[in-house]
Amino acid sequence: MKRRSCDGCGRPEKVCLCSHLKHCELPFELIIWQDPDEAKHPLSTAPLLDKSIANCRLIVGDQFLPEELLGENDFSDVALLYPLEGATPLPMSEARSSVSRVLVLDGTWRKVRRLLLLNPWLKTLPCLSLTPDSESRYLRQSQVEQGVSTLEAVYLLADVWQPESGYLEGIAVLDRMAELQDSFRR
C-alpha cells in the first residue's frame, strides 16, 4: 500500500513539514533547476522551496536551452547562485540593482558540475556566491567545505539581499527534518 502524502508539503503524512515552512516572497524571482536524480531523493529541499516561495519555479532536467529555462527575453537580469571556479562573483550592491531572477542548480556537487558541463551557457551568467558563517543544518553531508543545501543557500542569499527581513527563519524546517529522522532512528 502506498503511503499517503501531504497536499501541502508533498512529504509523507507521517513526516509532514507544513507547520515549519516559511511562506514568503523573495526580493527576486527564484528558478530552481533540479538534477533528475536529485528529484527522486526523499530529503531534497527544492520541493520545500517550491511549496513555500511565492515567486518560485522548479524545473527538472539534464539539459535546457537558455530560452527554454529563462524565456525569449534578454537574460541580463539573471544571475546564477553558484561559486563558479575562476569567476568573480557579482557584488551584492550590483546584484540588488541589476538582478531580478536568480537561478539555482539543485543536486549533489557532482551532479551540479555535470549540469554545468552539459549546459556551458550557464557559465556566461553572472554568478552570486555565498560565504556561510555557520555549518549546514541539513541532514545530508556536503562534499564541499561550507557547502549548504539549496534551501539554506536561497534563504542565506535572501537575507544578504535584504538583511533583517526574517528570511533565515525558513531554515528552521531543516531542524524539524532532523528531529523527525532522529525519532525514526530510535
pLDDT tens-place string over residues 16-73: 888 889 899 999 999 999 999 999 987 788 999 999 999 899 999 999 999 999 988 7
Is residue 10 classed as helix, strand or coil in its secondary structure?
A: coil
Class of residue 52 by CB neighbours under 10 A (exposed 0-12, middle 13-18, buried 19+): buried
Q: Does a structural domain hold residue 5?
A: no
Which is higher by pLDDT, 103 or 10?
103
pLDDT averaged over every residue in the chain = 86
Q: Does a structural domain hold residue 87?
A: yes
Q: Does a structural domain hold residue 125?
A: yes
Q: Does a structural domain hold residue 65?
A: yes
Q: Does a structural domain hold residue 53?
A: yes
Is residue 34 classed as helix, strand or coil in its secondary structure?
A: strand
Contacts of 6 (CB under 8 A, 6+ apart): 12, 13, 16, 17, 18
| pTM listed for this prediction | 0.88
Cα–Cα dist 99/27, whole Å:
10
Q: Does a structural domain hold residue 110?
A: yes
Q: Does a structural domain hold residue 83?
A: yes
Q: Does a structural domain hold residue 11?
A: no
User: What's the total number of domains in the chain?
Assistant: 1
Query: Which domain, by its residues, includes 89?
Result: 28-185
Instruction: Note the pLDDT tens digit of each residue in 103-123.
Output: 999 998 889 999 999 999 999
